[in-house]
Amino acid sequence: MGDLNQQMLDKYRNNFLREVEEKVDDGGWVKMCMQCGVCAGSCTFGPDWEHTPQKIFMMIRAGKREEVLGSHSMWLCTSCYNCMVRCPRELPITHIMHGLASYAHRLGLAPKNQPTRDFSLIFWENCTKTGRVNELRMTISVYFREGFMSGVKKMWTLRNIGRGLFFAKRLNPLELFVSHGCKDKDGLRRALKKADEIEARRRGYAVQPRGYSS
């Protein structure tokens, strides 16, 4: 932060824009935004998040690398596609938002303990193991994400719902011990690995396993 001059120089040399174009899914579209603000006005999250898509795109052009990649905004996107259907420049905004989130995550710059980010990871790990989601295990992982006591508290608050689900046959306690899975688990794993390889090749990464990289 010391050399303000150096910082400004970086900021308006477009490097980050180029980085986004090359590394982020649909990042090449960012330069086409005309800053009309329709997305910002359409977003279901509108006033509640720190950076609207419009601002994110402007920040990219202004070279605000840490701020963009460390932003909570991309993680909050609900994929409602309101912005995307309205953008007069037809930017695939929703996809860019997710592309940025994924890129930030890959670089380890995404915000720590971000609930949707945590949820996504738990979900991914859970379902890629057997090819099916084990809802009980996933719920428990999510509840206990912030420690044992807070997990117990959450379970206590929601105990009636749990009971209801059990009686409605929507929750099988045995799943805690035996997960059922898809037929060809190995096949699934191979497919995922291949996908990783393809993506890495396209974007020029060294292949690395998914998960927290920080």
Partner 1 sequence: MADMKTAAYICKGCGIGERVDTARMAKVATKEGKMHLAREHDFLCSAAGVQTIQDDIDKEGVTHLVIAACSRRAKTEAFHFPGVALARANIREGVIWARPDTAEARETTQEMADDYLRMGCGEVKKMKLPGGNPDTGHAKRLLVVGGGISGLTAALEASKTGYQVVLVEKSAELGGWTAELYRRMPFREPYADPQHTGMAELIKEVASDANIKLITNAVIAKTDGAPGRFKVDISVESGPSLTEEVGAIIQATGFTTYDIARLPELGGGKSANVIDQAGLERLAKEAADKGQPIRRPSDGGEVKCVVFVQCAGQRDGSGRHLAYCSGFCCGASVKQAMYFKDANPAIDTVVIYDDLRLPGNGEDFYRSAQKKGVTFTKGKVASVEAKGDGCEVKFRDLILDEDAAIAAADLVVLATGQVPNSGVNIDIPEEEVAKMEVKPVSILNLAYRQGKDMPQLTHGFTDSHFICFPYETRRTGIYSAGPVRRPMDIAQAVEDATGATLKAIQAMENAELGRAAHPRSGDLSYPIVQLDGCTQCKRCTVECPFGAIDEDEKTYPVFNESRCRRCGTCMGACPVRVISFENYSCDTVGAQIKAVDMPDEFSEKPRILVLACENDAYPALDMAGMQKNCYSAFVRVIPVRCLGSVNTIWITDALNAGFDGIMMLGCKHGEDYQCHFVKGSELASVRMSKVDDTLKQLALEAERVISHEVAITDIARVPQLINDYAAKINEIGMSPLKGFA
- Closest contact distance (angstroms) between CB of 182 and partner 1 is 44
Residue 62 interacting entry, from partner 1, ligand SF4, none, C-beta within 5 to 8 Å by type: partner 1
Q: What residues from 27 to 66 belong to the interface with partner 1 (CB under 8 A)?
A: 31-32, 34-35, 54-55, 58-59, 61-62, 64
Burial environment of residue 202 by CB neighbours within 10 A (0 to 12, 13 to 18, 19 or more): exposed
Separation CA 7–CA 9 (nearest Å): 5
Exactly one of 22, 41, 66, 89 binds partner 1 (CB under 8 A); which one? 89
Which residues make Cβ contacts (< 8 Å) with residue 114, sequence separation at least 6? 72, 75
Q: Does 12 bind partner 1 (CB under 8 A)?
A: yes
Q: How far is CA 34 from CA 6, 31, 189, in A?
A: 28, 8, 42
104 and 110 Cβ atoms separated by less than 8 Å: yes
Task: Give the residue, chosen from 94, 134, 139, 141, that forms a contact with ligand SF4 under the rule CB under 6 A.
Answer: 94
Kindly state whether residue 144 participates in binding ligand SF4, applying the rule CB under 6 A.
Answer: no
Binding mask 62-91 for ligand SF4 (x = CB under 6 A): ---------------xxxxxxx---xxx-x
Count CB-CB contacts under 10 A for residue 97.
Answer: 26
Binding flag, residue 124, partner 1 (CB under 8 A): no
At residue 27, the 3 state secondary structure works out as helix
Q: Contact positions toward ligand SF4, by CB under 6 A?
A: 33-39, 42-45, 53-54, 57, 77-83, 87-89, 91, 93-94, 97
